[in-house]
Amino acid sequence: MMCVWSHRPRLLHLGLFTAAYILGCGFAQSLAIVPGTGISIWPPSGLFIATLVLARRPSWPWWMLAGCLAEMFSNFLWFHSPVPAAFLIYTGNALEAAAGAWLVNGTLRRPVRLETLGEVLAFIVLGAGIAPIVSATVGSATLAWFGMQAQTFTGAWPLWWIGDATGVLIVAPLALVVFQNWCGTAQLSTARWIEACVLGLIFLGVAALSLSGYLPFAYIIMPPLLWAAVRFEFKGAAIALTLLALITAVFTISGASQFAGDPESQRDRQVMLQLFLAISAFSALIVAAISRQHQLALATLRRSERELSLLVDAVPVAIACLAPDGEPTFFNRRLIDLLGLNVTDLDKPGTSRRAADIASALHPDDAAGFAEALSHSLATGEPFFRKHRLRCANGEYRWVEGRIEPLLNQDGAVLQWYGVSIDIDDQMRLYSDVAEREAKIRRLVDSDIIGIVIWDLDGRLLEANDAFLRMVQYEREDLQAGLRWFDMTPPEWQEVHTRNEAEELRTTGKMQAREKEFFRKNGSRVPVLIGAACFEGQSRQGVAYILDLTERKRAEAAQMRAEEALRRAQDKLARASQAASLSELTASIAHEVNQPLAAIVANSHACGRWLSAEPPNVERAKITAGRIIRDANSAAEVISQIRARFRQSVEARTGTTLSSVIAEARNLMAEEAAQHRICINIDIENDLPLVAFDHDQIQQVLVNLIRNGMEAMASAAGSRALEVRVRRKGDAVQTEISDCGRGVETPDKIFEPFFTTKEHGRGMGLTISRSIVESHGGRLWAEKHEPYGATFIFTLPVEVKTTS
């Protein structure tokens, strides 16, 4: 009960409903002109069904109550039936409305708008055909039971049914329109309003004409009625039907219409009237529904067309339509923007659109192939697919992927070609960039100059090129089996590897190139230079570059060995040249002087012969004499060079100490001394003053004296020790070289040139040594060494410090 109460419609609505119901009853009463029947068009049935169709079901009791009150009131005013009969009749009407609404609501989509033909037909059949059966049955039974107006059940039933049906057909649409557009504002243009007014006038005029004469004339109203239905659809039909019903009623009541007549024929005319109204309503509603449906379809089509057109222009693809012969007929917005021209721009005299399109829009290199492929597709009907370059509006060429597909009819003939061009320029650029880069990388990896390895931070080698595998002599299968850096790292590198290198990679993303070693598969070691870097954005993996240093290391070692050998050879050479004895020196000097002398002698003889010849050959003699002079000068030059060599040169005097020169001389003679099993003892006084001397010359003197001493001892028995003593004596530093040999028999002669006691000597050594020492401002002499042997002594003056 509470439920029903809470669904009470607004009182205003209930009131209006009640008023309209009573009005409908009045209208029916006024039309019930058939004597003795009281049955006529029953508008409340339409109102009731329309109301219940739109109302929610819980509120139905309220409407039924209102309807009951209205009908009882109308009965009180006009029908004057007994209250039980009136109530029964009302019950029939309420049942009819409930059944109709129930059937309509159950069949049609809510809210009921009657916009399609199906809906209208369903409404007509269910609401106007089936529902009135209930009220007609109940009402006719009631009339017959109460014996009112002398009606039989069968006599009253058809009238009752058709009256209710007509009421539903005429009033229900109007009611639906009124209910649903109660608050809506009509949105009609001025032209429509004018059309509506003109139509209304025509309708009224035709109605006035048609309803005032012969029965079939009444149907002249049909064209305006259908016009209203077509142009204004359901609303127009509803209003026109209402007007028609009212006009018909007015004319019939006033007796001016063909439906009014004498009482005998009144019953048939009443049926005719109701049929006329029912047919009109039926036709108008059907036409309105068809019109509505058509309009809806048109609107839908327009909308989808607009959407399609928007879609075609919005898709990021250039679209073209071609006629079956390949002539372009349509370009979409994107294609127009891309090419900077529309289909119509291709119309040029003397050439087809297709040729003009190919000529203006394609890259010259692609045009021929494109035209050929297109011709092939057009001839065979096969789809066309090609990548080519299109010339853009700005003159640039862009790569596009072009597809042209045929639209076929049922016979398989081409109706139209649809072409799309997808811009793949960026893709193509990207592809070519990527391909180029890939090729570069591939070249780098395959170049086999350096080893390249892709690794991950777990220390696994994921990929390696042949150069690397060759370097470490592993196979590709080892790599696939999960080779790790750690396995290849010698123990002393392992800690560095696991700690420093991994850390460096983690923090900086790369590993500076460094030299290290790896184990080869066979356990031998390979020295390498390795650098690595993580891949950007994917720090778990990276690349390493490895250079085999074996050859370089070998070359370095070889170079070091060669350098060492060279150094030793140089040392040896230096020692040999420094140790060259003065006798060898003299031999070479002799040779240098002897050659020009020999030439001079020979030339002199020749010269003499030329002059003493008969007659004397003076020319040849002159030439020969010239040669004599030249060769003599050459000999003199040799002599002066030798002089220059032993001349005291201040510049050449070095700051070397005497003790270091002595040490050098001892080292130079060490080998010879060892051969002769002679020991050289050196005794140098501390704090010797500086002496100025020519390093090479004094070394020569020392070597000469030491060798003399050693040679003296070589043939003698007894002690084999050579003493070298250096001490200060006044303003000079004195160096003594003592041997234990045979001694010097003729101390005065030994310094003379060419005096020698040796088997192979030339007698120059001591002479030159003395001249060297004397050129330094010192003296060289020999003394007897006790108990045997000789001592050679030379002095060098202490340097006088003139400047400091």
Partner 1 sequence: MTMDDHIVFIVDDDARIREALSELLASHDMRAIAFGSAGDYISADKPDLPACLVLDVELPDINGLDLQRQIAEGDHPPIVFLTGHGDIPSSVRAIKRGAVDFLTKPFSDTDLMTAIRTAIAQDQEKRSERAELRVLRLRYLGLTPREREVLPLVVSGLLNKQAAAELGISEVTLQIHRRNVMQKMAAASLADLVRIAERLEIPIRHSRRAEGS
Task: Determine contact, residues 313/334, Cβ cutoff 8 Å.
Answer: yes
Instruction: Calculate the CA 344 to chain-centre distance.
Output: 39
Where do we find the tokens 């002079």? Answer: 629
CB-CB contact of 295 with 233 (8 Å): yes
Residue 776 · residue 699 · CB < 8 Å: no
Give the integer Cα–Cα distance in Å for 467 and 547. 9
Listed ranges 294-302, 319-327, 604-612, 736-744: which one lies at the site for partner 1 (CB under 8 A): 604-612
Say how many residues make up the chain. Answer: 804
Query: How far is residue 769's CA from residue 664's CA, in Å, rounded to a whole number?
Result: 18
Q: Which residues, 6 or more positions from 763, have their beta carbon under 8 angstroms from its beta carbon?
A: 752, 753, 754, 755, 756
| Token couple for 597 | 């002398």
Q: How far is the CB of 580 from partner 1 (least distance, A)?
A: 17
597 is an interface residue for partner 1 by CB under 8 A: yes
Q: Which is nearer to partner 1, 607 or 705 (CB)?
A: 607
Give yes or no for residue 624 binding partner 1 (CB under 8 A): yes
Q: Closest Cα partner for 497 from 467, 517, 470, 474?
A: 517
Verify binding: residue 222, partner 1, rule CB under 8 A: no
Alpha-carbon dihedral angle through residues 274, 279, 284, 290, given to the nearest 10 degrees: 150
Footprint on residues 631-670 left by partner 1 (CB under 8 A): 631, 634
Token couple for 726: 């250096």
Asked if 22 contacts 16 with a C-beta cutoff of 8 angstroms, the reply is: no
Q: CA angle, 470 as apex, 466 and 471 as ends, to 5°?
A: 115
Q: Which is nearer to partner 1, 533 or 597 (CB)?
A: 597
User: Does residue number 613 form part of the binding site for partner 1 (CB under 8 A)?
Assistant: yes
Q: How do strand 510-519 and strand 525-535 relate by DSSP bridges?
A: antiparallel
Question: Quick one: which segment of 235-243, 404-412, 591-599, 704-712 binds partner 1 (CB under 8 A)?
Answer: 591-599
Only one of the segments 27-35, 115-123, 514-522, 609-617 lies at the binding site for partner 1 (rule: CB under 8 A); that segment is: 609-617
- Span from 405-413, 425-433, 598-606, 672-680 in contact with partner 1 (CB under 8 A): 598-606
Of 393 and 598, which has the nearer Cβ to partner 1?
Answer: 598
State the minimum distance, in angstroms, from the CB of residue 761 to partner 1. 14
625 belongs to the binding site for partner 1 (CB under 8 A): no
Among the listed residues 120, 45, 112, 47, the one whose alpha carbon sits nearest the alpha carbon of residue 285: 120
Q: Report if residue 590 touches partner 1, rule: CB under 8 A.
A: yes
Cα–Cα distance measured from residue 171 to residue 24, given in angstroms and rounded to the nearest whole number: 9
State both tokens at 648: 């005291």
Interface with partner 1, residue 596, by CB under 8 A: yes
CB of 631 to partner 1, least distance (A): 6
Using the rule CB under 8 A, give the single segment among 220-228, 314-322, 620-628, 788-796 that binds partner 1: 620-628
Going through 323-364 in order, the beta strands assigned E by DSSP cover 328-331
d(CA 574, CA 597): 32
CB of 606 to partner 1, least distance (A): 4
- CA–CA distance, 778 with 780 (Å, rounded to integer): 7
Which 8-state DSSP code applies to residue 218? G
Nearer to partner 1, 604 or 775 (CB): 604
Euclidean distance between CA atoms 44 and 25, whole angstroms: 7
Among 605, 622, 643, 784, the residue binding partner 1 under the rule CB under 8 A is 605
Q: Which of 204, 602, 663, 714 binds partner 1 (CB under 8 A)?
A: 602
By CB under 8 A, is residue 763 in contact with partner 1?
no
Cβ–Cβ contacts within 10 Å for residue 682, how many? 14
Minimum distance of partner 1 from residue 764's CB (angstroms): 14
CA angle 475, 478, 483 (to 5 degrees): 125
Q: Is the CB of residue 132 less than 8 Å from the CB of residue 96?
A: yes
Nearer to partner 1, 352 or 595 (CB): 595
Among the residue ranges 268-276, 364-372, 622-630, 652-660, the one whose residues contact partner 1 (CB under 8 A): 622-630
Torsion of CA 695, 698, 699, 702, to 10 degrees: -160
Rank residues 333 and 609 by Cβ distance to partner 1 and give the closer one: 609
* DSSP letter assigned to residue 522: T
Tokens of 42: 């029953």
C-beta closer to partner 1: residue 748 or 759: 759
Asked if residue 156 lies in contact with residue 37, where contact means CB atoms within 8 angstroms, the answer is yes
Residue 259's nearest CA partner among 244, 246, 274 is 274
Three-state DSSP class for residue 383: coil
Q: Which stretch binds partner 1 (CB under 8 A): 75-83, 255-263, 446-454, 597-605?
A: 597-605
The count of chain residues that interact with partner 1, using the rule CB under 8 A, is 27
Q: Which is nearer to partner 1, 623 or 663 (CB)?
A: 623
Residue 629 makes contact with partner 1 by CB under 8 A: no
Nearest approach in angstroms of CB 690 to partner 1 is 42
Q: Return the range that interacts with partner 1 (CB under 8 A); candidates 277-285, 601-609, 651-659, 769-777.
A: 601-609
Positions in 303-342 near partner 1 (CB under 8 A): none
Per CB under 8 A, the list member of 105, 595, 648, 756 interacting with partner 1 is 595
Question: With CB under 8 A as the contact rule, which of the stretches 10-18, 484-492, 541-549, 588-596 interacts with partner 1?
Answer: 588-596
Binding mask 548-587 for partner 1 (x = CB under 8 A): ---------------------------------------x
The minimum distance between CB 621 and partner 1, in angstroms, equals 9
In terms of DSSP bridges, do strands 538-548 and 451-456 run parallel, antiparallel, or are they unpaired?
Answer: antiparallel
**Which of positions 453-492 make contact with partner 1 (CB under 8 A)?**
none
Residue type, 226: L
Q: How far is the CB of 632 from partner 1 (least distance, A)?
A: 11
* 3 state DSSP class of 763: coil
Q: Which is nearer to partner 1, 296 or 613 (CB)?
A: 613
Residue 451 C-beta: closest distance to partner 1, Å: 53
**Of the residues 91, 151, 270, 603, which one makes contact with partner 1 according to CB under 8 A:** 603
**610, 693, 792, 794: residue in contact with partner 1 (rule CB under 8 A):** 610
Please identify, among the stretches 4-12, 417-425, 561-569, 602-610, the one whose residues bind partner 1 according to the rule CB under 8 A.
602-610
| Closest approach of partner 1 to the CB of residue 513, in Å | 54
Q: How far is the CB of 637 from partner 1 (least distance, A)?
A: 13
* CB 588, min distance to partner 1, A: 10
Please answer whether residues 53 and 122 qualify as being in contact, where contact means their C-beta atoms are separated by less than 8 angstroms: no
Beta bridge partners of 399: 389
Query: By CB under 8 A, is residue 622 in contact with partner 1?
Result: no
Give the nearer residue to partner 1 in terms of CB position, either 381 or 608.
608
Closest by CA position to 587, among listed 439, 456, 756: 756
Query: Which span (362-370, 371-379, 613-621, 722-730) binds partner 1, by CB under 8 A?
Result: 613-621
Does 4 engage in binding with partner 1 (CB under 8 A)?
no
Task: Choose the stretch contacting partner 1; rule: CB under 8 A; options: 38-46, 433-441, 627-635, 793-801.
Answer: 627-635
In sequence order, the β-bridge partners of residue 422 are: 401
CA atoms of 771 and 780, how far apart (whole Å)? 9
Does 371 engage in binding with partner 1 (CB under 8 A)? no
Closest distance of CB 642 from partner 1, Å: 17
Helix 153-180 with 11-31: angle, nearest 10 deg? 140
Smallest distance, partner 1 to C-beta of residue 586, A = 11
CB 62 within 8 A of CB 15: no
Residue position matching structure tokens 């070998």: 554
> Interface residues with partner 1 (CB under 8 A)?
587, 590-591, 594-603, 605-610, 613, 617, 620, 623-624, 627, 631, 634
